[in-house]
Each structure stands twice: as C-alpha cells, then as structure tokens.
Amino acid sequence: MKLTNELFNDVIAYRMSEPGAMGPSGSLAILKKNGESFEFDYLSDKTPWEEIKKCFPSIVGCRFNGPMENEMRISQEIVIGGFGEPTRINAGWKHFYLDFGNHLVCKEEYYEKLENIFKGFRNSAIAYGWTEILKEAGFVQNLNN
C-alpha cells in the first residue's frame, strides 16, 4: 500500500504497537470513518515511520511508552518500555493503554462509545481484534447512517 495524505483522511482510531510489543509489534493499524481499515509495519523500509508521519499529521508529536501519565495502572498491567517520558497523544484524541506495549487512540468524540463496546474484553483481545470487535458491535455502520 502506498503512503499518501489521502490514505489518512477521516481516521477515527488507530492502534499503535511499540517496537517489542507483544503481538502486533512495530505496527500501526488504522480505522477510517467509512469502515476501511489497514495496517502498516512502521519498522519496514516500505512504510517507514518518518514517511507515515508526513502523511498522518495527527500522529506527529505523539510518544508511545507505556500508559499515559494520568492513566491508572492496573496491578497485572505489563508495560513494555515505560522508562523516561510516558505516552502522550495530541489534542482531540483519547488513549487506551492495552498492556504489553499496545495502544489504541481514538478521536475524543468516540471515546465513550468505544469504552462501552470494549467493556468485558481483555486488553489482548482488543489489541489483536479491535476492528472486528467494532464491526460486530455495529460501530462503523452507526457512524455512517
């Protein structure tokens, strides 16, 4: 898939996995308002991080390193990295820390809906199958009706 600015139009949520994260390590998965989803390996030469940032300005300035400073830690939570500066995201977006170095970020206006949909799911299930969970819940269909 070729990286273009148009590819990142109408992104409503993305999953970012830190290098070394459990599961989808070194990847960025995108969900657009029309329901289209795709994933990049930002560590590869074909879709390098610097090129992704040029096309997806909403991620420029973000840092992914464990939970955000204001997020409560759960006793069983596993943090990959977690040293130094904590995770930070840009204004207009909200963050779910999914343990093991995986993050889900969504537009603020969708946060409560996603929080309700994800209740009862383990963080690992969300990290691996968040787009399928949202499709099964009718989330994207309801946005476009």
Per DSSP, the residues of 56-94 read: -GGGTT-B-SSSBTTSPPPTT---SS--SS-BB--TTEE
Question: What pLDDT, on the 0 to 100 scale, is given for residue 75?
Answer: 45
CB 116: neighbour CB atoms within 10 A?
A: 11
Question: What pLDDT, on the 0 to 100 scale, is given for residue 104?
Answer: 96
Across the range 28-44, mean pLDDT stands at 94
Higher pLDDT, 31 or 77: 31
**Total-model pTM:** 0.88
Residue 65 has pLDDT above 50, yes or no: yes
Q: What is the largest distance, in Å, between two alpha-carbon atoms of the chain?
A: 44
Residue 17 — very low, low, confident or very high, per pLDDT cuts 50/70/90? very high
Residue 1 has pLDDT above 60, yes or no: yes
Dihedral-angle region of residue 44 (phi above 0 means left; psi in -120 to 50 means alpha; beta otherwise): beta
**What's the pLDDT tens digit per position in 113-134?**
999 999 999 988 999 999 999 9
Question: What pLDDT, on the 0 to 100 scale, is given for residue 141?
Answer: 85
